[in-house]
Amino acid sequence: MPRSEPGSRDGPVGIKQVAQLAGVSPGTVSNVLNKPERVAAKTRARVEQVIKELGFVRNGSAASLRAGHGRTIGLMMLDLGNPFFTEMARGVEDLMSEREYGVILCGSASQVGREQRNVRMLAEQQVRGVLVTPVSDSGESLARLRERNIPSVMLDHAATRSDQCSVTVDDVAGGRLAVAHLLERGARDIVFVGGPLTTRQNADRRAGARKALREAGCGTLREVIVDEMTPRAGHEAAEHLLAELPDAVFCANDLLAMGVLRVLLQQGVRVPGRVMLIGYDDIEYALASAIPLTSIRQPPYKLGRIAAELLLDECEHPGSHAHQQIMFQPELVVRESTS
Amino acid sequence: MPRSEPGSRDGPVGIKQVAQLAGVSPGTVSNVLNKPERVAAKTRARVEQVIKELGFVRNGSAASLRAGHGRTIGLMMLDLGNPFFTEMARGVEDLMSEREYGVILCGSASQVGREQRNVRMLAEQQVRGVLVTPVSDSGESLARLRERNIPSVMLDHAATRSDQCSVTVDDVAGGRLAVAHLLERGARDIVFVGGPLTTRQNADRRAGARKALREAGCGTLREVIVDEMTPRAGHEAAEHLLAELPDAVFCANDLLAMGVLRVLLQQGVRVPGRVMLIGYDDIEYALASAIPLTSIRQPPYKLGRIAAELLLDECEHPGSHAHQQIMFQPELVVRESTS
DNA sequence: GGGGTATGTTGAAACGTTTTAACATTTCGC
DNA sequence: GCGAAATGTTAAAACGTTTCAACATACCCC
């Protein structure tokens, strides 16, 4: 049996072979794939049948070359080690998977250089658009995307230009919410643990904290600035506190708070009896800690999903797309650590 | 000023325009990009200069179309919500970024169907290779990749075929390590909390636990099977234990253990005084819990990185590549919860 | 300085789609 | 039934790279 089908060759089947077997032209097969409504029901059925039989899978590179863009988007994350961001990535991935897009994942690890290298790589891959959680100074990366006409949506960082979409949570409001809660519970001597302040998130949360104090007209804010948002950094910060215990501690994220909590308990400091503690992000693991943590809840999954929707809208309907700067309000979740 | 350069047009600059400005043929520019050693130093310098001036970025789709494969790999993860897997993804991303490859991220959410859809998408994107943490029955997905000649490496699941690379940690040894430790500390009535048992990880860890008992010739193992590896599932499991407290609990992952721990402490059960507790994975957040958790450490970042290296070796040197099944040994990390 | 070998460079042919204008065919109003 | 309009289908020209055989050129040894 030399060869089973007239046109069958060894290589992967292409659109031509489908066309031949279905008795139509390659153009029609392409239409079945991309604009099914333009081809007669009967023809379409036949072609689809052949596609299934032959196990044909379209060559995305060729499609992308001809069409000028492919079915992938880029996702640039600030910190792949932080559950807040990976949860966001999950939201993005879920939506893109539904719409049959691929997601090219990049981590900038908060370094401008790495961010720029990755933007170049994404441009090379002909991504249709890019989602970015920008490092403090990403102007250049975004400009490069713009000059290549690659749409982008900023994630967890508000856009200042009106020709840019962004999806964020109000961190100033979050900081205010946290400290207002502590004040209401009677705390006066409050410590903010967070950093580095060059990141927008930290700066905003601190600003919110100060705002709450101003509004209340009472209380003082001490600060311990750390250079990482990890449990380890929380440990170190807590050591500084032991000398002069405050009434309450506001940590710029839950990982820090978990570190602080552990040191306090080890030293026999009652939480919340002696010191109240509040975190930020409301990650799942915060609930599971020995003294469940009061925290500020953000919806990372939703953020990712909505940003992805916005990006796709801009990519697929550049004409009618209206740029939006969406800002969610965070939510206070009260648990034992402040009760 | 009608046009600044003779060949300058509006669209993105291509290899031809670089060639023209540098006074060479397009083929030579391509060689500068892909086989720099084949082109004379002087010519190369000139071309590189022009590339920089024009801000030329190669069109990856065209390259991929002609060459038959692109500079991306696929990464299929079992569970994007689990720090163990996201840490693995970080290892993969780091290496691929160094080698200037893009990583297309997919989550299978443990569903065979989603896995297969994603494999199809990856094939369409012409990925060079795929890293898979397979769901329990992924034979078909892997077969599809093979018939398309797309190399793959299995992650966190040992390959049974010798023409397949895999990188794993010995979960049987891990389970044995955990329970042997508990027995050594004097526990006799031990409970295993984990599930679902259809996942290889759970089945192996349980098998390891049983092995430890057999070897010791003493002790008994009760089991609470859950259907999710989350803190919430841990809570529920712990409720079952309260009626008849065991000497020790071995959880198939740290998230479960954190959930169990919280319920025990809430009920006034001393840990480790009354019940010892051991987890699995040694995730960062486990250390930060109120009673630091004894756990079985696995090196997810390293797993990801090594698997990525293996995959690239297979992709780039298919001739000389030797398939390997690498298995790491896990490590016992003793902390307060068993001391 | 002539035959042979390295060493660089080139031109043109792919790669597998999408797109477009042009061509058939059917449908419809009258 | 006739012409016009609507509906399907097609052939051929892109898209921007890589590859490969062929061609120059420089170098070397006797």
**CB contact A146 to B (< 8 Å):** no
- B33: closest CA of chain A, how far (Å): 13
Residues B102 and B211 in one domain: no
Q: What pLDDT is attached to residue B10?
A: 55
Q: Is the dihedral of CA A150, A153, A159, A165 positive or negative?
A: positive
B6 domain-assigned: no
| B66 CB below 7 A from strand C atoms | yes
Of B57, B89, B121, the CB nearest to A80: B89
B241 domain-assigned: yes
Burial class of residue A304 (count of CB atoms within 10 Å of its CB; 0-12, 13-18, 19+): buried
Residues B149 and B245 in one domain: no
Residues A164 and A186 in one domain: no
Angle at B87 between CA B175 and CA B259, to 5 degrees: 55
Of B65, B106, B292, the CB nearest to A65: B65
Using DSSP's 3-state secondary structure scheme, residue A316 falls into helix
CA distance A151 to A187: 47
- A105: closest CA of chain B, how far (Å): 6
Pair B338, B185: CB distance under 8 Å: yes
Q: What pLDDT is attached to residue B286?
A: 81
Strand partners, A130: A74, A152
Phi, psi of B190 (to 5 degrees): -115, 140
B82 domain-assigned: yes
Q: What value does the CA radius of gyration of chain B take, rounded to a whole number of Å?
A: 26
HSE-up of residue A180 (Cα within 13 Å, Cβ side): 18
Residues in chain A, how many?
A: 339
**CB contact A62 to B (< 8 Å):** yes
Pair B191, B223: CB distance under 8 Å: yes
Q: How far is the CA of A20 from the C1' of D9 (A)?
A: 14
CA distance B196 to A34: 41
Q: What pLDDT is attached to residue B131?
A: 98
Residues having Cβ less than 7 A from any atom in strand D: A 23-28, 31, 38-40, 42-43, 62, 65-66; B 11-12, 14-16, 26-27, 29-31, 33-34, 56, 58-59, 62-63, 65-67
Of A65, A104, A261, the CB nearest to B61: A65
Residues B43 and B161 in one domain: no
Q: What pLDDT is attached to residue A180?
A: 98
Burial class of residue A130 (count of CB atoms within 10 Å of its CB; 0-12, 13-18, 19+): buried
Phi, psi of A305 (to 5 degrees): -65, -45
* Contact: B288, A262; criterion CB under 8 Å: yes
What type of residue is A91? Answer: G
Q: With contacts defined as CB-CB under 8 Å, which chain A residues touch B87?
A: 81
Q: What pLDDT is attached to residue A7?
A: 37
Q: Please identify every stretch of chain B with a pLDDT value under 70, giving residue numbers as ranges.
A: 1-10
CB pairs under 8 A between A and B: 166
The DSSP line for B306-339 is HHHHHHHHHHH-TTT----EEEE--EEE--GGG-
Pair B58, B66: CB distance under 8 Å: no
Nearest CA in chain B to A256: B288
Pair A111, B102: CB distance under 8 Å: no
Residue numbers in B 8-47, CB below 7 Å of strand C? 23-28, 31, 38-40, 42-44
Q: What pLDDT is attached to residue B56?
A: 96
Residues B190 and B201 in one domain: yes
- B53: closest CA of chain A, how far (Å): 15
A259 domain-assigned: yes
Mean pLDDT of A46-53: 95
What percentage of chain A exceeds 90 in pLDDT? Answer: 83
Q: What pLDDT is attached to residue A309?
A: 97
Nearest CA in chain B to A109: B94
Domain extent, residue A26, equals 15-58
B7 domain-assigned: no
**CB contact A81 to B (< 8 Å):** yes
- A215: closest CA of chain B, how far (Å): 34
Q: What pLDDT is attached to residue B7?
A: 37
B199 domain-assigned: yes
Identify the CATH number of the domain in which residue B48 sits: 1.10.260
A9 domain-assigned: no
Q: What pLDDT is attached to residue A179?
A: 98
Mean pLDDT of A120-138: 92
CA distance B102 to B122: 12
B1 domain-assigned: no
* Contact: B255, A75; criterion CB under 8 Å: no
Which residue, counting CA atoms, is nearest to the C1' of nucleotide D13? Answer: A66
Q: How many domains does chain A contain in total? A: 3
Q: How confident is the model at residue A5 (pLDDT cuts 50, 70, 90)?
A: very low
Q: What pLDDT is attached to residue B2?
A: 39
Residues B175 and B294 in one domain: yes
CA distance B321 to B241: 51
CA distance A281 to A284: 9
pLDDT tens figures, A225-252: 999 898 889 999 999 999 999 999 999 9
pLDDT tens figures, A54-66: 999 999 999 999 9
CA distance B226 to B135: 18
CA distance B296 to B88: 16
Residues A285 and A139 in one domain: no
Kindly list the distances between the CA atom of residue A7 and the CA atoms of A51, A87, A93, B205, in Å, as whole numbers in the listed order: 15, 48, 39, 52
**CB contact B143 to A (< 8 Å):** no
Q: What pLDDT is attached to residue B310?
A: 97
Q: With contacts defined as CB-CB under 8 Å, which chain B residues touch A120?
A: 57
**Interfacial A residues in 233-252 facing B (CB < 8 Å):** 234
Residues B175 and B89 in one domain: no
Q: With contacts defined as CB-CB under 8 Å, which chain B residues touch A125?
A: 60-61, 70-72, 102
Q: What pLDDT is attached to residue B284?
A: 84
Mean pLDDT of A201-230: 96
Residues B307 and B165 in one domain: yes
The pLDDT of residue A136 is above 80: no
CA distance A194 to A203: 9
Of B70, B104, B287, the CB nearest to A61: B70
Of A93, A106, A292, the CB nearest to B97: A106
Identify the CATH number of the domain in which residue A164 sits: 3.40.50.2300
Nearest CA in chain A to B59: A124
Cα torsion at B283, B83, A194, A180 (round to 10°)? -110
**CB contact B14 to A (< 8 Å):** no
CA distance B143 to B128: 16
Pair A249, A209: CB distance under 8 Å: no
| A217 CB below 7 A from strand C atoms | no
Mean pLDDT of A261-280: 93
- A191: closest CA of chain B, how far (Å): 20
Q: How far is the CA of B117 from the C1' of D6 (A)?
A: 38
Which residues, 6 or more positions from B315, have their beta carbon under 8 angstroms from its beta carbon?
A: B69, B73, B128, B129, B151
Residues A112 and A124 in one domain: yes
Closest CA to B262 of A337, A138, A75, A325: A337
The pLDDT of residue A276 is above 70: yes
Q: Is the dihedral of CA A237, A238, A241, A246 positive or negative?
A: positive
The pLDDT of residue A9 is above 50: no
Mean pLDDT estimate for chain A: 92
| A26 CB below 7 A from strand C atoms | yes
Q: What pLDDT is attached to residue A10?
A: 55
Q: How far is the CA of A276 from the C1' of D27 (A)?
A: 83
Q: Compare A108 and A92 and report the one with higher pLDDT.
A: A92
* Contact: B60, A124; criterion CB under 8 Å: yes
Positions on chain D within 7 A of a protein C-beta: 7-12, 14-20
Q: Is the dihedral of CA A255, A256, A259, A264 positive or negative?
A: negative
Residues A160 and A224 in one domain: no
- Give chain A's end-to-end CA distance (angstroms, integer): 81
* Contact: B93, A106; criterion CB under 8 Å: yes
Of A105, A234, A265, the CB nearest to B290: A265
Residues A215 and A321 in one domain: no
Task: Encode burial over B298-333: b for 16+ CB neighbours within 10 A, e otherwise.
Answer: bbbbebbbbbbbbbbbbbeeeeebeebebebebebb
